[in-house]
Amino acid sequence: MNNIEINEQALEVFFKAIEKRAFRIAEFAISDRDEALDLIQNSMLKLVQRYADRDENEWTLLFYRILQNEIKDWKRKAWVRGWFGFIDSETEWIEDKSVQACPDRLVHQDAISSAMHTAIKQLPWRQQQAFLLRSWEGLNVKQTAKVMTCTTGSVKTHYSRAVTFLRKQLAEGEL
Amino acid sequence: MKKQITEQQLQQLGRQLLEQSVDTLDESVSIGLKKARQHALQSQPKPSFIPQWSGAFAVIMVLFVIVWMGYETPVITDELMLVEDMIQIEETQELINDIEFYQWLEQRGELV
């Protein structure tokens, strides 16, 4: 077995391990299932084409960094569409689609999960991503800062605000 | 009084929720992710077994061989020896010189 095959196998294992969580993170950010899938595919492509030869330990950070850029670009395009007056109806459609297209969300059956899910979705994007990357993906402050291309101070601020908001929301739900 | 959730509990709850949401992803998303993964893996640039400089190397080698062959003494084949013999034979030389005359004779039927 040559190095290329080993590398391909390692990449496949890596993607299998990370893809579902990454998909949820993207879906949280843009509220559109199909678009989230596209962003994941683009991120995978870029990782394979540009960074496949890098050390495996770097892949997680690189992948999430690419994904963050993809999300940022998507939001920028959505903003431009909105600027030219095409977004109002589309935003509504995206939100509706997100809710309707997720029959698998058994989490909604659970009140706590549902409240948490809603609260996370309500977070501003950067706070949401800081919270998800840190609490779910287990990245530390420094790693999160690399992924989000900001300072560790900003990550701490985003994360702290996210936690404060979520606690408030969940407490209001009397959980 | 409302119960205050700790940061640790919040993290745990968040992780639990998200893991649960991943486990309950529907089939279409799983298929979409599989396709995305396969597409990405297929796009991996395959390093060629032939090095990039091999083209230039091949050209240089061909030029070298051509130049080298130019100074090489020709291999003497049977055909070459025959030609050489024909040139050296005086009669043959005479025949070649008078070829037009012999052709004329042949046309007139006087040669036979």
Q: Of A107, A89, A144, A85, whose CA–CA distance to A27 is shortest?
A: A107
Mean pLDDT of all residues in B58-66: 86
> How confident is the model at residue B31, as a pLDDT?
93
Mean pLDDT of all residues in B102-108: 78
CB contact under 8 A, A45 and B39: yes
Query: How many contacts (CB atoms, under 8 Å) link A and B?
Result: 115
Query: Does residue B47 or residue A35 have the better pLDDT?
Result: A35
Residue B97 has pLDDT above 90, yes or no: no
**Looking at this predicted complex, what is its ipTM?**
0.74
Least confident of A119-123, B28-32, B78-82: B78-82
> How confident is the model at residue A99, as a pLDDT?
42
> How confident is the model at residue B2, as a pLDDT?
53
> Amino acid identity, residue B8?
Q
Query: Does residue A101 or residue B27 have the better pLDDT?
Result: B27
Per-residue model confidence as pLDDT tens for chain A (175 residues): 566 666 888 999 999 999 999 999 999 899 889 999 999 999 999 999 999 889 999 999 999 999 999 999 998 888 777 666 554 444 433 443 444 444 444 444 467 777 888 888 899 999 999 999 998 888 999 999 999 999 999 999 999 999 999 888 887 765 4
> Amino acid identity, residue B33?
L
Give the gap in angstroms from C-alpha A86 to the nearest C-alpha of chain B.
28
Q: Of B96, B87, B29, whose CA–CA distance to A19 is shortest?
A: B29
Among B3, B29, B47, beta carbon nearest to A33:
B29
CB contact under 8 A, A135 and B3: no
Mean pLDDT of all residues in B70-83: 71
Residues 23-42 of B with CB under 8 A from A: 24-26, 29-30, 32-33, 35-37, 39-41
Give ∠ CA A79-A84-A90 in degrees, rounded to 5: 65
Q: Of A61, A39, A51, A38, whose CA–CA distance to A11 is shortest?
A: A51
Mean pLDDT of all residues in B76-104: 74
> How confident is the model at residue A147, as a pLDDT?
92
Q: Any chain B CB within 8 A of the CB of A103?
A: yes
Residue B95 has pLDDT above 50, yes or no: yes
